[in-house]
Structure 1
């Protein structure tokens, strides 16, 4: 038997061998035919090394974590890749690694990433957190978590360790049955047996953890570098001598590869096996066919250390020269390496026989069902430089050459040949247009020719062509012939040429290609100023150029695919734009176009497509779009591109910065009050078209809807108000579905003291209180003001009333006040039958005072007299100025005798006054007329007093005279 030790434990492993071992190399033909596997030459190849950001070019380990990140173990630390850039984790407090050298990864069933490396360093990464374990002291070559959650650690010189869930370690050495202390590989089979590949053979541990040898000559004393289970759970063993399949029913393992040192094994699916070798590069076994890829085909180094197929189907290869990636890119480029006659391709023809013809500077190639055939043209074209292609009658192939005219092929044999010797104006043929009647137009560098049965008609500048350099030809359904030249477009109709003035549209000159769009009856013309739409019904021209979204001026060939997209070639890559959007722009329903540009990162070896000859692009019968480039012919399968887009890449948040300071990625997070500038960086973890991943974000609490970010992977916010926020980001490939699971970051922007709710409430309460106080104060103030105003008004009213009843000069009551008081006292005296006396006083010779001494002295005399008279009157008496130099005194309840005494006292007091301060000889006296109410009515009272005053003056002045009624 193959495994003598294994047979001793057959009860434990019987089911491991209870199936017929059929490898991926012996599947049925029907199974293999169900899926087309492209050759290694058809994959897009890409290398990443230290120039790309890796810390070291030796890639010891590769894995992909569930979040989508790619991880690479190197001798200078761990490199995590998001499709754009690497993040390096080396020896630091975060990782806990005792040394930067990393040798192996293991992703267990709990999605925990285990990392082992130099100095026996062991760490695990879970949910972004690193946890270090006590080192093992020797380089760790492999890690493996078995189905009982026991971690097995293979070391370089200390044998094998087993660490259980509690951290307890069990050590296996030579004494336990290991053939060597150098352990290279570990694997567990479906029955739970742990297989151990050492530097000196293969062993396994049984259910009792006893080491059992494997007695097979192919494994004895041989380093076992790789162990893998195939699609049927059978054990694949990679050794220094080859690749083997263990067969319990046979005495010998099945040899799959002999004399090939195998370092890594990857079972992709039921019929593909990838094999990494120590010095012979990468191998692929498929249906018994072995393909190889080494440094001659672009592999950075022939030593393969690790293999991984990611979730999108990319193959990652770890070598001594960096990371090598094979992927099914959107574009696939074919060159001389796969059978093209030349790499500088110029013309394409999708033939009705199902083949694609490719014209290049080195000849003509036919591609049929993946087979390449070079057609010999040397009989008439020594250089075999092909410029143009077309299909003629009876499936003939028309070939326009650079220097040898036009060649007609039938069944790959030259049938006819046209050049300047038999009528062409030039041997440089850049465009061919066969007509249905057996005729054909030929565009050359010296005009255009119509080849007919009876001869050749040539037209040039003299006949109305805008230029003799013809690069494109097209016949519209209404039989018009459009001729594209280096200086405009001519139309041949009714045997006449007319010119289209395309120069009026942004000074366009070259018309490189023409494509008819039947549903809208538009002829699309690719020019050196963008895409022109010629409306055949109206003869109107519209242009879609830089102003409408074209990234550059010069475009060569337009191909419409079966999904409704335009593919356009240029010197800078291949453009794709939506046909319906282009038509909407022409109709004025859109202002610009969204254009996707594909280039070297998408599978093209060179982004420079060729133009200036027809046709430089073609739609093949399988729906693929082909373009001629300066480095081979490239093709894209739009339907396959749509399949890429249907895979939404996962998205992660990578960095959060506030005002330049990094924040932890765990959320929720509180941002300090006053935080102004928030930057959130994120990444879509897709690797098929990583540079084309689109993003959209939404900041709940700020954005009302999703914000489209394009390919920008940073969102920035400034001056956010305080509050709770939830940032979401999702990713997609162009025209694809958005990732179903958004990356989320939750944070709270704390308010300043003055922004807190209770502070605002307190401020509102304070303002309300202050407002109430202010209102009350204002009302009180208004009341006080009102009262003050009322008092003032009253005072002023009183003052006005007083002024109205007071003499301005003397301050005594005026005549109005005296009249009112006289009436009041007269009535009272009448009611009470009491005596009311009235004295009328006049200043003697007062006119002399005014005339001789001035009115000012006279006024002063009057004021002094008034003051003296007021002092001498009783409190019950009313003294008033009657007018001029006259005064009047009302004496209520006063007898005539008492009144006479008062009057005499007044007269006597005035007579004694000293006025020498006013004038040296000034002497003042008064005359008084006194009357009572005896027998007199009110009006007669003043008349009676005045008569008495007159008598006093008549009798010599300075005296008192009594009225007649007093007797």
Structure 2
């Protein structure tokens, strides 16, 4: 038996060796392993300066600035300093920049972009002092203002600013306290300190100085040497929020931490990437970041503490297979061939061969007096007696597992391949099918909160009622573990987790497809809040009470468990399937796990889990990448918009889930899972707001979404004013179209009215030319017959017969006229054809000679024009044949491009001017021709004089009427 204790610096202090050390190198994305500077901006990003450029780290990915930053940032980075806002001052090997509003602004020195900054110090206002080539400058509105140094101050080596905004400078011989007066630095005090090359002001206002071998602290009057601060050789110091002093050796000694006079060191032998550490930085989660020449590391106080360095236990024997809490609240762990270990009153003890325990696998414990009884493989059960563990008699041979104390004082256990056994009053009873437990497979034994014993078999869960077992629950696979969380039931099987919120309700199987991190559940434990802690062959995880109860009741289809990794302090993520009690909840509420690399413990109430906070990372438009800003304007066109987002500085960034929406496009929040990117293509022009929230592995989410306002500019034809103009234009076009349509309808109505008028006039002319003429002739003949009857009776009969024949012709013509009242001139013939037909109508003798001529491309003429032209020409032909006594009559029809011209000429006796103006008494021919011409807007010219014949010229435009005909 051996005992010992882990070193503890002070009460409540976590030993440095128990902090979780995580390492990142070029294999994880660093541009170079030599870390030169560290800083953190308020958005949570960690900025890392290396010998080969600057990167930004969100805990998961490193982002460089080769595509959206100045080329100087790909060189050696000398310093990184926060400003008073969200920005950062960046000192590169050959340039100085201010990162503000998501872009790098070069700070020019006397108009030059390239120069070297030797030292830098932040002012209280967020600006900085810099030294370059032995001169000192201060920043003002992103410009460098020179400040004159006193003659006594030689080349500045380092600088810092105190709480009164005084500037402190060391030149390796003295330390000077200065203040600024009219761009001149005035020395307020001088403190001799030979070799001083480092000045540092802590967050608490304490001023430190160092020469690389000795550390000094300013006491208000002088720099007093600090005895035994930590490392003797150092290049950097830092005081954290708990007033602990950290020192980086920059040589062969690693780092040190001093707290209340106790100094601890961390070297490469304890996991440090290199003993040559250069930079120390504390982030907003109180984690310590270490920059070495071999990579970036983080010291984090993890949720778990894994005990691997147990006094008396060989380092190779750290595998633990069973965990147990004794009645005195001590914690016991069973190892593989290394005996057992005990944690009591903050000390570890080891019991092995010297304590009587054989080197076998420990498969369980149970309470037996002041010391537990121990089940070891096929060696049996060992109890403590006389200062040693001795083997208990009467235990059947085989692998003894899962011993459990029952309230009645009995002990239940199983033997592999032999079944279930009960030990009571030093008597062992084999439980068989006769007592309600069939088969030899025993996966788990448990006592519920009411004191009842439950045993999980191949597919059944049985409860002991005092005399025999009752089968109450059926599982789809062999049962491996049992838990009773929040009055419910959780059965871990080989194929998932069977959950019940109460024994009266049916259960539901939770498997890997539902979010379970592995189907084989080796152990399950409920904490004091009803959450489930599960161990699989792959991970250790926690399922919140809200989630597992909602799933068991059918209210949830998928769960998101918290998965714990090495970053949380685990040395191993899983347990071994050894059919033993490998997880337990101790009386103080902590959860213990027996892992292959030591006994691990977690306090569920003290898990440090910072709230997840989403930030937008980059925005790319058609693969043109830029750093995310609060707003972006995209030019017109069809673009592919890609946004990346993250949750910086999270303990488990790979488990952070995101929800996002594009306001103005997405109708609801979209579950993005663990993806860090979303793309939109073909968004219409407009204003949008992209919002994203982060949900940590513990379910805590961002208090406010990260938002990027996006404006997609339209083409001019997509703008509102263009749309308004188009609407006005369309309205005007509609009004104009309606006006024209109404006008055309009015014209058509007018034309129809004129057609009716023309029809009536045509009827009047026909009556005038036919019926009236015939009636006049008949009247004259009747008068002649009257005279003949008296004077020439024999001739009157013949005249009467002629009159009767003439009246019959008149009747026939009248009938034809009536039948054609509603018809136009012969529609199946052209104008020239109907004019040719008119010759036959008016010819009474061989004279006059008639000639018909036509010029131009013959085309169809609107019926209204054709009829009116025909009537005018018919009247002109009638006059030429009946009254002109002409020998020749010529008709010429000319089809001009937009006009029809008809000329009718004869060589007859002609007409006087009076006759042309007033016409013959009782005749309507000339007036009718003028009326017809006016109706179709035609030009009618009659040229005639006595003895010179007559020429009638008719001109009418046809394009307007032709357009009407096509529309109609």
TM-score normalised to the size of structure 2?
0.70
Q: SS at 2:348's partner residue? A: strand
Query: What is the alpha-carbon distance in structure 2 between the residues aligned to residue 539 and residue 67 of structure 1?
Result: 47
1:744 deviates by: 2.6
Query: What is the alpha-carbon distance in structure 2 between the residues aligned to residue 869 and residue 761 of structure 1?
Result: 83
1:77 deviates by: 1.3
Answering whether residue 604 of structure 2 is matched by residue 630 of structure 1, we say no
Q: Deviations over 1:881-912 (max 9, x none)?
A: 99xxxxxxxxxxxxxxxxxxxxxxxxxxxxxx
Q: SS at 2:342's partner residue? A: strand
Query: What is the alpha-carbon distance in structure 1 between the residues aligned to residue 727 and residue 139 of structure 2?
Result: 64
Residues 514-525 of structure 1 mapped to structure 2, 5 A cutoff: 514-517=482-485, 519=487, 522-525=488-491
Q: Tell me the residue number matched to 2:706.
A: 743
Whether contact under 8 Å (2:485, 2:532) holds in the other structure is no
Q: Tell me the residue number matched to 1:86.
A: 62
Q: Tell me the residue number matched to 1:371.
A: 347
Answering whether residue 216 of structure 2 is matched by residue 244 of structure 1, we say yes
Query: What is the alpha-carbon distance in structure 2 between the residues aligned to residue 672 and residue 140 of structure 1?
Result: 40
Q: SS at 2:609's partner residue? A: helix
Q: SS at 1:47's partner residue? A: strand
Answering whether residue 448 of structure 2 is matched by residue 448 of structure 1, we say no
Answering whether residue 309 of structure 2 is matched by residue 332 of structure 1, we say no
Query: What is the alpha-carbon distance in structure 2 between the residues aligned to residue 634 and residue 640 of structure 1?
Result: 15
Query: What is the alpha-carbon distance in structure 1 between the residues aligned to residue 43 and residue 453 of structure 2?
Result: 58
Q: Tell me the residue number matched to 1:97.
A: 72
Q: SS at 1:702's partner residue? A: coil
- Aligned partner (choices 348, 359, 377) of residue 323 of structure 2: 348
Answering whether residue 33 of structure 2 is matched by residue 68 of structure 1, we say no
- Aligned partner (choices 86, 95, 99) of residue 125 of structure 1: 99
Q: Tell me the residue number matched to 2:27.
A: 51
Query: What is the alpha-carbon distance in structure 1 between the residues aligned to residue 662 and residue 803 of structure 2?
Result: 95
Answering whether residue 641 of structure 2 is matched by residue 678 of structure 1, we say yes
Whether contact under 8 Å (1:312, 1:688) holds in the other structure is no
Cα gap change, 1:603 to 1:729, in 2 (>3 Å): same
Q: Tell me the residue number matched to 1:729.
A: 692
1:602 deviates by: 3.4
Cα gap change, 1:767 to 1:374, in 2 (>3 Å): same
Answering whether residue 13 of structure 2 is matched by residue 40 of structure 1, we say no
Alpha-carbon RMSD across the aligned residues, in angstroms, is 4.5
1:269 deviates by: 3.1
Answering whether residue 638 of structure 2 is matched by residue 661 of structure 1, we say no
Answering whether residue 460 of structure 2 is matched by residue 483 of structure 1, we say no
Query: What is the alpha-carbon distance in structure 2 between the residues aligned to residue 518 and residue 112 of structure 1?
Result: 49
1:875 deviates by: 6.8
Q: Tell me the residue number matched to 2:228.
A: 256
Q: Deviations over 1:340-375 (max 9, x none)?
A: 774322222234433322222233222235432223
Answering whether residue 651 of structure 2 is matched by residue 688 of structure 1, we say yes
Residues 366-515 of structure 1 mapped to structure 2, 5 A cutoff: 366-376=342-352, 378-390=354-366, 392=367, 394=369, 396-409=371-384, 413-414=387-388, 417-418=391-392, 422-426=394-398, 428-446=399-417, 447-459=419-431, 468-476=440-448, 481-485=453-457, 489=461, 492-493=464-465, 495-496=467-468, 502=474, 505=476, 508-509=477-478, 511-515=479-483
Answering whether residue 810 of structure 2 is matched by residue 873 of structure 1, we say no
Whether contact under 8 Å (1:723, 1:751) holds in the other structure is yes
Answering whether residue 581 of structure 2 is matched by residue 615 of structure 1, we say yes
1:527 deviates by: 0.6
1:316 deviates by: 0.5
Query: What is the alpha-carbon distance in structure 2 between the residues aligned to residue 653 and residue 150 of structure 1?
Result: 26
Q: Tell me the residue number matched to 1:546.
A: 512
Residues 772-791 of structure 1 mapped to structure 2, 5 A cutoff: none
Cα gap change, 1:618 to 1:423, in 2 (>3 Å): closer
Cα gap change, 1:781 to 1:550, in 2 (>3 Å): farther
Answering whether residue 122 of structure 2 is matched by residue 145 of structure 1, we say yes
Q: Tell me the residue number matched to 1:559.
A: 525
Cα gap change, 1:148 to 1:100, in 2 (>3 Å): same
Whether contact under 8 Å (2:277, 2:293) holds in the other structure is yes
Whether contact under 8 Å (1:245, 1:255) holds in the other structure is no
- Aligned partner (choices 249, 252, 277) of residue 304 of structure 1: 277
Q: Tell me the residue number matched to 2:248.
A: 276
Q: Can you give the 5+ residue segments of structure 2 that lack an aligned partner in the other structure?
A: 1-8, 180-184, 760-777, 787-800, 816-968
Q: Deviations over 1:9-66 (max 9, x none)?
A: xxxxxxxxxxxxxxxxxxxxxxx97x72211122111011111111111111111123
Cα gap change, 1:563 to 1:60, in 2 (>3 Å): same
1:738 deviates by: 4.0
Query: What is the alpha-carbon distance in structure 2 between the residues aligned to residue 251 and residue 517 of structure 1?
Result: 60
Q: SS at 2:709's partner residue? A: strand
Whether contact under 8 Å (1:340, 1:372) holds in the other structure is no
- Aligned partner (choices 572, 591, 607) of residue 606 of structure 1: 572
Q: Tell me the residue number matched to 1:532.
A: 498
1:771 deviates by: 4.7
Q: Deviations over 1:317-361 (max 9, x none)?
A: 111111111012333333237887743222222344333222222
Query: What is the alpha-carbon distance in structure 1 between the residues aligned to residue 90 and residue 694 of structure 2?
Result: 29
Query: What is the alpha-carbon distance in structure 2 between the residues aligned to residue 725 and residue 740 of structure 1?
Result: 21
1:232 deviates by: 5.9
Cα gap change, 1:725 to 1:540, in 2 (>3 Å): closer
Whether contact under 8 Å (1:112, 1:125) holds in the other structure is yes
Whether contact under 8 Å (2:122, 2:160) holds in the other structure is no
Query: What is the alpha-carbon distance in structure 1 between the residues aligned to residue 627 and residue 653 of structure 2?
Result: 26
TM-score normalised to the size of structure 1?
0.70
Cα gap change, 1:478 to 1:653, in 2 (>3 Å): closer
Q: Deviations over 1:804-834 (max 9, x none)?
A: xxxxxxxxxxxxxxxxxxxxx9xxx9xxx9x
Cα gap change, 1:133 to 1:493, in 2 (>3 Å): same
- Aligned partner (choices 165, 169, 176) of residue 146 of structure 2: 169
Q: SS at 2:158's partner residue? A: strand
Q: Tell me the residue number matched to 1:226.
A: 198
1:608 deviates by: 1.9
Whether contact under 8 Å (2:481, 2:493) holds in the other structure is yes
Residues 277-292 of structure 1 mapped to structure 2, 5 A cutoff: 277=249, 278-292=251-265
Rg comparison, structure with higher value: 1
Query: What is the alpha-carbon distance in structure 1 between the residues aligned to residue 612 and residue 486 of structure 2?
Result: 35
Answering whether residue 536 of structure 2 is matched by residue 570 of structure 1, we say yes
